[in-house]
Amino acid sequence: MNKSTYILGTGLSHDGSTCLLKDGKIVVAIEKERLTRIKHDGGNDYHTVQYCLDAAGITIKDLSLVVQAANFEKDILPDRYSGARFFPADCNIPFVTISHHLAHAYSAIGTSPFNESNVLIIDGCGSPYEQCDDTKEAICYVPDTNTMIAEKDSYYH
Answer yes or no: is 48 within a domain. yes
What is the per-residue pLDDT for 55?
97
Is 19 inside any structural domain?
yes
Asked whether residue 124 is assigned to any structural domain, the reply reads no
**Rounded average pLDDT per 10-residue block, the chain, 157 residues:** 89 84 93 87 80 95 86 43 56 79 79 82 59 55 61 56
Q: Is the dihedral of CA 68, 69, 74, 77 positive or negative?
A: negative
146 in any annotated domain: no
Q: What is the pLDDT of residue 131?
A: 44
Residue 35: inside a domain, yes or no?
A: yes
* pLDDT score at 41: 79
Domain that holds residue 27: 6-115
Domain count, the chain: 1
Q: What is the CATH number of the domain that holds 49?
A: 3.30.420.40
* pLDDT value for 151: 56
Structural domain includes residue 140: no
Contact between 10 and 18 (Cβ < 8 Å): yes
- Residue 125 lies inside a defined structural domain of this protein: no
In-domain check, residue 31 = yes
Which pLDDT value is given to residue 145?
64
What integer pLDDT is reported at residue 78 of this predicted model? 41
